[in-house]
Amino acid sequence: MKSNFNFDRVSPGWHYDKSRFPRDELSLVSALTDTESLKPIVEAILKDPYKEGGVKRIHIGNTVENVSNTVIDNRIAYMKKIGYSENEYFIEFVNDKFPDLEKLMIEQFNLSYCHSCVIILPPGQNMPVHDDTYSYLNKYMKRDYPDVKYDPITNIKRYMVMLTDWDWGQSYGAGNVIKWQWYIGDIFVWKHKLIHWASNASLSPLVFYELTGLEL
């Protein structure tokens, strides 16, 4: 089936040309020097994710919180149309499983007003291509910190930390860049609202941590 879905060109300065050579759309910006403290937590959430507070998220289902976002609603409607079903999912943790990692990231990248999550992408699953709306951050900033002024393009930052080593069959991409052969503790960042995705065609789970905040 031919896709007729077009992403809005909302990532500033990016060309949206699938034939262009990959550049710096997705960058490895740093790597944790100590990853041993992460491994027991990762092992625990993989052993029994739902007992540890994980929630199964269906790609064509409801978002983690009602953000009343038409971009997300339209994307979900199209995904249903082309064949995504309730069998496509990921497991999400929004219960601060890695407080020490969050503190370290906030200090390293000078972030404030942060929120984080952990994602398990099981074997055979994917994270469909999408662009971030940052709806949750914008919603709680407007609700809880109305006096804080920020420019969404220059101030909103989202970092991703790999919590498992790369395995054959796993990939992560943004724009025209595809990454592989990462190690636990590698930290990536992509351009504001750039389309991105993840795929797990391996025989082991892919786990990563995301931290979103403001660089003011």
Residue 33: Cβ within 10 Å count:
7
pLDDT value of residue 201: 98
Q: What is the pTM of this model?
A: 0.93
Q: pLDDT tens across 65-86, in order?
A: 555 678 888 888 899 999 999 9
Would you state the torsion angle of the CA atoms of residues 158, 159, 163, 164, taken in this order, to the nearest 10 degrees?
Answer: 100
Nearest to 90 by CA among 112, 119, 64, 48: 119
Q: What is the mean pLDDT of residues 171-177?
A: 97
Residue 137 CB-density burial (10 A; 0-12 exposed, 13-18 middle, 19+ buried): buried
Is the pLDDT confidence value at 1 over 50? Answer: no
Kindly state the average pLDDT of the residues 103-109: 97
Average pLDDT, the chain: 93
Which CATH number does 26-54+90-214 carry? Answer: 2.60.120.10
Assess whether pLDDT exceeds 90 at residue 6.
no
